């Protein structure tokens, strides 16, 4: 069906490329035909309005779907793979979400902060966007109107943190305060404020919340999670590989989602991981982890253009997101009849198991890739057996 679709207008030169991109992402012939018919309507609509590819912004797409109605293409999400391809080759402008109500000066300010986080701090683009979102939300509590950086002072910053503390739970508050500190450093480093205001941000009181509850995941439970996957299906083999990676290597969900085929060095038996702060870390690849990944690659992973190691189980095939990795763990808990946990609890399991086996806290920190021993110590403090393993005998007594 897609082969017979005639595309006229500004999108005509990209017809074959769009069809190939849809096929590479696993779309069936019938579905490709539907999407190409939508592309044909969109291209004709753009031409009638005197618009070109450079005008194909998110707002224009939403306007198109306001007049284009089909049961199989109801929202702009139907066009997402097409726009991803066109943006990838530079045919249409990149998507950029701008919060409603931003002035031109604010747009420039927050875009500069985002670039500073990436270029100077080495943060990932997604993390930088989150810093912008949290910092802007916090600063707006100082001034509900246009943000005037020159008017920021110590009392205003303190008031913003207090307002955030009243409305945000502990974990979210810590993330917001971290983003605010980065924003204030950015303002001073770029000459937007005469004095460093980061000192006005009060420390967040560390309460018992910093001591995580005992992990509800035992080694036996972890085996149940893995066994719950149906290895007769491609999705089951993928989920086994993901769970084995989490339970053996203690990776974070975004680290699992970010793995690529090139990160697995089969000859050396190593796995390269893009960790926090842009650090590239190399981990040993245990035999059971390698076997699970190999089983997925040979009999589970769809043939797609993407170099992501773990891809979605249904079309459009593409890299898994951190939320997708979290969902794999939650669904495994449901199948195994266990309380729902996430990748972080599996990471905690690896830490406590390693401590119980006689490893030192330094070795656990290296395994978790923590740069600060006190962070790794949180895992030990939460587990009495692990603490006992770390305790030194009192001089003059025998253990």
| Residues designated as active site | 252, 276, 344, 347, 370, 379
Contacts of 137 (CB under 8 A, 6+ apart): 176
Q: How far apart are CA 304 and CA 347, in angstroms?
A: 30
Cβ–Cβ < 8 Å for 284, 221: no
Give SS3 for 375: helix
User: Among 285, 299, 186, which residue's Cα sits nearest to residue 238?
Assistant: 299
DSSP character at residue 95: P
Separation of alpha carbons 387 and 106, rounded Å: 50
User: CB–CB of 47/12 below 8 Å?
Assistant: no
Contact 319, 311 (CB under 8 A): yes
Which residue, 120, 122, 119, 116, is CA-closest to 135? Answer: 116
- The phi, psi pair for 70, rounded to 5°, reads -140, 150
Give the integer Cα–Cα distance in Å for 256 and 44: 42
Tell me if 356 sits within 8 A of 389, measured CB to CB: yes
Give the chain's length: 399
Q: Which long-range contacts (CB under 8 A, 24 or more apart) does 242-247 make?
A: 242/310, 242/325, 242/328, 243/328, 243/329, 243/332, 243/346, 244/288, 244/289, 244/292, 244/293, 245/289, 245/292, 245/293, 246/325, 246/329, 246/343, 246/346, 246/347, 247/222, 247/346, 247/349, 247/350
Residue whose C-alpha is closest to residue 223's, from 332, 313, 301: 332
Residue 40: name the closest of 9, 69, 4 by CA.
Answer: 9
Q: Is the dihedral of CA 157, 162, 168, 169 positive or negative?
A: positive
Structure tokens given for 360: 């030192």
């Amino acid at each position: 069906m897609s082969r017979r679709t005639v595309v006229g207008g500004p999108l005509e030169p990209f017809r074959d490329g769009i069809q190939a991109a849809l096929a590479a992402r696993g779309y069936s012939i019938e579905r490709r035909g539907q999407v190409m018919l939508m592309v044909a309507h969109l291209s004709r609509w753009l031409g009638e309005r005197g618009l070109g590819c450079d005008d194909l912004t998110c707002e224009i797409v939403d306007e198109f779907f306001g007049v284009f109605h089909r049961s199989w293409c109801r929202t702009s999400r139907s066009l997402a793979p097409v726009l991803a391809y066109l943006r990838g080759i530079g045919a249409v402008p990149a998507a950029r979400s701008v919060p409603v109500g931003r002035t031109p000066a604010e747009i420039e300010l927050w875009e500069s902060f985002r670039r500073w986080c990436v270029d100077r701090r080495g943060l990932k683009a997604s993390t930088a966007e989150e810093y912008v979102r949290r910092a802007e939300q916090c600063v707006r509590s100082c001034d509900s109107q246009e943000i005037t950086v020159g008017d920021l002072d110590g009392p205003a910053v303190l008031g913003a943190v207090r307002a955030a503390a009243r409305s945000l739970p502990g974990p979210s508050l810590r993330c917001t305060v971290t983003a605010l500190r980065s924003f204030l450093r950015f303002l001073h480093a770029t000459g937007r404020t005469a004095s460093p205001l980061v000192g006005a941000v009060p420390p967040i009181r560390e309460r018992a919340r910093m001591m995580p509850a005992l992990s509800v995941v035992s080694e036996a439970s972890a085996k149940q999670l893995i066994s719950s996957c149906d290895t007769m299906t491609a999705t089951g083999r993928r989920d086994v590989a993901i769970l084995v990676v989490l339970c053996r290597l203690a990776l974070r969900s975004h680290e699992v989602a970010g793995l690529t085929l090139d990160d697995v060095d089969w000859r050396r038996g190593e796995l390269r991981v893009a960790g926090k702060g842009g650090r590239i870390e190399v981990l040993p690849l245990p035999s059971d982890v390698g076997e699970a990944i190999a089983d997925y690659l040979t009999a589970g992973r769809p043939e797609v253009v993407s170099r992501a190691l773990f891809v979605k189980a249904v079309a459009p095939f593409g890299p898994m997101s951190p939320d997708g990795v979290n969902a794999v763990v939650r669904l495994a808990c449901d199948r195994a009849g266990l309380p729902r946990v996430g990748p972080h609890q599996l990471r905690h399991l690896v830490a406590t198991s390693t401590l119980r086996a006689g490893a030192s806290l330094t070795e656990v920190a290296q395994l978790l890739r923590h740069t600060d021993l006190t962070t790794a110590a949180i895992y030990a403090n939460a587990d009495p057996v692990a603490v006992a393993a770390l305790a030194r005998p009192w001089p003059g007594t025998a253990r």
